[in-house]
Chain A
Amino acid sequence: MTANMRFTEPNKKVRLGFRKIIKVQRGQDFVEALAWLSIVAVVSMFLLDGNLAQIKLETPPTWLTAISRLTALVATDILLIHMLLVARVPWIDRLYGHDRATLTHKKLGKPILYLVIAHFLASLISYAITAKTTIVNEFFTLALHSGRDLLWSILALALMIVVVVSSINIARKRLSYETWYVVHLLSYFSVALAVPHQFSTGTDIAGKWPQTFFWVTLYLFVVCNIAWFRFLAPIVGSVYHGFKVIETASESSDATSIYIGGRNLKRVGGKAGQFYILRVMTGKEWWRAHPFSLSAAPNDKFIRFTIGKRGDDTSLLQLIKPGTRIILEGPYGVFTEDRRTREKVTLIAAGIGAPPIRALAESMAARPGDINIIYRVRSESDAPLVEELKELSRRRGFKLTLLEGSRGNPKSWMPAHPENLPDHARLSLIAPWVSESDVFICGPAPWTKTVEKSLLRAGTPSHQIHAEEFAW
């Protein structure tokens, strides 16, 4: 095994200090300000119309129409932001990381649906009152006898409900990922179907050219970002580089490394700690995408992922044959040295969370003793990448601590201790300057949470704790 090890030269230097974090915050503030101002813009579109002055409480249609318009405008704006968040746009990814963007995307889903339903009900009821019919009657009038645009928008709402319901936690647990994924693709249709009625019946848009221009710009901006970054860029990049599996190597009983080669690998541009979304181009598998972290620092010879056997898909991936075409989307994530502010670094990994830690340990700029690696394993003999980490620590003079065995109590992230010392105390013993170091954690989500807790108790400020959640 040792003969097979291929290491890349570490980075020569790294910029430390809080200044670069302030730069990131500035970027985040800029993007968030833009997002909020886009909401302000649509609200002002509503206000510019001057309808607010006409509202009379005793006549429901006046304020129902206002509610309908306002909710529609705000909902559409948030919906576009919501879509942009998962378009895998590099300028969002670099600022927030894929996980935070995805989590925000998840949070926004339901509020958007509520707003759209409010819009639907408000306009329906106000029309029904105006027309002096029942709501059901008016619904069918609008759906069937008022042009196609409204019928489509009603369909869009139905699709949106299906998509959101399929994404709530209870449903996600029952549905397979594939079912959920296919249902989620419907959301593109939902968004598209709702467009015509905005331009033909939207009081604040139809026939007002500045508003129409603004609205079209918003839509085009989001559509272009999605089309390029989500769909075209990965295909163009993978065709250009011609990614193919070179070889596979078993790392442990349940983990395999896949080496991927291609032309001009220097220009792929990933960093240690980042991940790619991998699409195996075989007849059955091409439509399933899997996120994997780099398990070796980027170099010009190969891209390596180490894949643990978890679901049925990942076990299929272990059997992948050399020569198989691969489409890579990425790199994504901010789990990199770019976020490092301190000279000292603590890397904490558990099980199949080792790959990015291994890549970071390989590439980070450090003097001997700067980096402290903690690796939580079930058993040392069957831990992925453990030999490589040992060899790396030996060569670069890092301290590697293997935590082996089953844990002492359910709230602990460490193996049992004879004197039942709390985790944060043991952490301080293993890594004495943990409070002054940047800590990179990679492991299962609940485990990561407990590690973060004991880090905070050990005195590490939260802005020095870096962890990437698997948000899918």
Chain B
Amino acid sequence: MRNTTKTFVASVGMGICAISYAIGANSAAGTSFSLGALNTNSGSANPTVGVSDNPGASNTSSSSAQPSSSGSATTKTSASHSPKPSSSSSAQPSSSSSNTATAAAKKKTKKTTKKTTTTGSSSGPTPAPTHTSSNTPTPKPSTSTPPPSNTTVTKTGSLVRETVYGGQIQVSVTKTNGKVTAVDLLVASATAGRDGIFPYLQQLAVSSNGAQFNTAKNRTGATYSAEAFNQSLASAMSKF
């Protein structure tokens, strides 16, 4: 190459790189999560490393503090929760414990999903609402007493296979008074280590009231697990 061309190509190339870096940095400003970052720091029970742009980020940190108790006590219905502030009650079983619960829960959920039954809270005074009723105008709020914790509805999402790595994910969503209070893992067999993302995704889903994780900005190292989680979550949300 002649020198003039070299200079020209070099400057054009650097220009293109600079522009694309700027665009990339801009669009990635909203990106939040890195599985690697989470995992290397997970010993300190602080999963919010790297979370920057997450509305519920501030109050999620407490949630991981109580992973095992709820996980082992309630296998699939999270309706037995006492009324708590929603964000903290979203504490999830850690991925490992949910995995052990998986096998048992699997058969049962298979059946229940088919029928799309609602697993109402057995302890609560209110029976499950009618199947066809839409989510917001539940029969209860119209009555005199407004106990927020009474209308607790759990719906189970479909079992989703990861596109590439072949793990399986199934979530159930619990709504109390029309607000998502818990997202539980019924099946969570991600490829080794990738299930580290699930607690984060669960928190995110609860804090954003059932919205999906933005996979377009996903840089987690658990792309397919996150996508599968999203799908299962979406199918559960669509059943309300």
Residue numbers of A with Cβ under 8 A of B are: 25, 28-29, 32-33, 36-37, 39-41, 43-45, 47-54, 56, 58-62, 64-65, 126-127, 129-133, 137-138, 141, 145-147, 149-150, 200-201, 203
- Name 5 interchain pairs, CB-CB below 8 A, sorted by A: A32-B9, A44-B20, A50-B26, A53-B24, A145-B165
> For chain A, what secondary structure do more than half of its interface residues adopt (helix, strand, loop), or is it mixed?
helix
Chain B residues in 8 Å Cβ range of A29: 1-2, 5
Instruction: Find chain A residues with CB under 8 A from B67 CB.
Output: none
Q: Which of B20, B34, B163 contacts A48 (CB 8 A)?
A: B20
Max chain B Cβ within 10 angstroms of own Cβ: one of A43, A50, A65: A50
- Give CA–CA (A70, B57) in the complex, Å: 31
Complex contact A54–B166 (CB within 8 A): no
Contact of B24 with A133 in the complex, beta carbons under 8 Å: no
Is B219 an interface residue, CB under 8 A from the partner? yes
Q: Which residues of B contact A39 (CB under 8 A)?
A: 13
- Given known A47-B17, A47-B24, contact A60–B36 (CB-CB < 8 A): yes
For the complex, what is the distance from the CA of A212 to the CA of B132, rounded to whole Å? 43
Whether A131 contacts B192 in the complex (CB less than 8 A), given A37-B12, A47-B21, A200-B163, comes out as yes
Any chain A CB within 8 A of the CB of B193?
A: yes
Q: With the chains together, A129 CA to B189 CA distance in Å?
A: 18
Q: Closest CB of chain B to A30's CB: distance in Å?
A: 8
A353 to B35, CA, bound (A): 64
B194 within 8 A of A: yes
Check: B45 CB closer than 8 A to any chain A CB: no
A62 touches B34 (CB 8 A): yes
Q: Would B20 and A28 count as touching, CB distance under 8 A? A: no
Knowing A50-B27, A65-B221 are in contact, say whether A130-B5 is a contact too (CB < 8 A): no
Q: Give the one of B31, B39, B219, B222 with max A CB within 10 A.
A: B219
**Across the interface, do A61 and B25 meet the contact criterion of CB distance under 8 Å?**
no
Among A44, A51, A150, the residue within 8 A (CB) of B28 is A51
A44 to B40, CA, bound (A): 29
Once bound together, how far apart are the Cα atoms of A207 and B32, in whole Å? 20
- CB of B40 within 8 A of CB of A25, answer no
With A and B bound together, what is the CA distance between A61 and B13 in angstroms?
28
Q: Do B35 and A130 touch (CB < 8 A)? A: yes
Q: CB-CB < 8 A to A43: which residues of B?
A: 17
B75 touches A (CB below 8 Å): no
Q: Residues of A contacting B31 with CB < 8 Å?
A: 50, 54
**Interface residue tally of chain B, by bracket?**
35 or more
- How far apart are the CA atoms of A55 and B205 in the complex, in Å? 25
- Pick from B9, B17, B219: contact of A51, CB below 8 A: B219
Please encode chain B, from 1 to 44, with 1 for each CB lying within 8 Å of some chain A CB and 0 for all others: 11001001100110011011101111111010011110111000
Distance to closest chain A CB from B178 (angstroms): 33
Question: Are the C-beta atoms of B37 and A62 separated by less than 8 Å?
Answer: yes
Kindly identify which residue among B9, B20, B34 contacts A54, using a CB–CB cutoff of 8 Å.
B34
Given contacts A62-B36, A65-B36, A146-B164, contact A51 B221 (CB under 8 A): no
**Interface assignment of B199: CB less than 8 Å from any CB of chain A:** no
Render B137-164 as a binary contact track against A, CB cut-off 8 A, 1 for contact: 0000000000000000000000000011
* Chain B nearest Cβ from A210, distance in angstroms: 12
Q: A residues within 8 A CB of B8?
A: 33
- Using known A-B contacts A49-B28, A147-B166, A203-B223, determine if residue A130 contacts B196 with beta carbons closer than 8 Å: yes
Q: Are B221's CB and A138's CB within 8 A?
A: no
B54 in the interface (beta carbon within 8 A) = no
Inter-chain CA distance A28–B5, complex, in Å, is 10
Q: Residue among B29, B40, B192, B196 with the most chain A CB within 10 A?
A: B192
A47/B36 in contact, CB under 8 A: no
B50 at the A/B interface (Cβ < 8 Å)?
Answer: yes
Q: What's the Cα separation between A36 and B5 when bound, in Å?
A: 11
B191 within 8 A of A: yes
User: Given A47-B24, A53-B25, are A130 and B221 neighbors across the interface (CB < 8 Å)?
Assistant: yes
A126-B221 in contact (CB<8A): yes
- Using known A-B contacts A44-B16, A61-B37, A61-B221, determine if residue A130 contacts B193 with beta carbons closer than 8 Å: yes
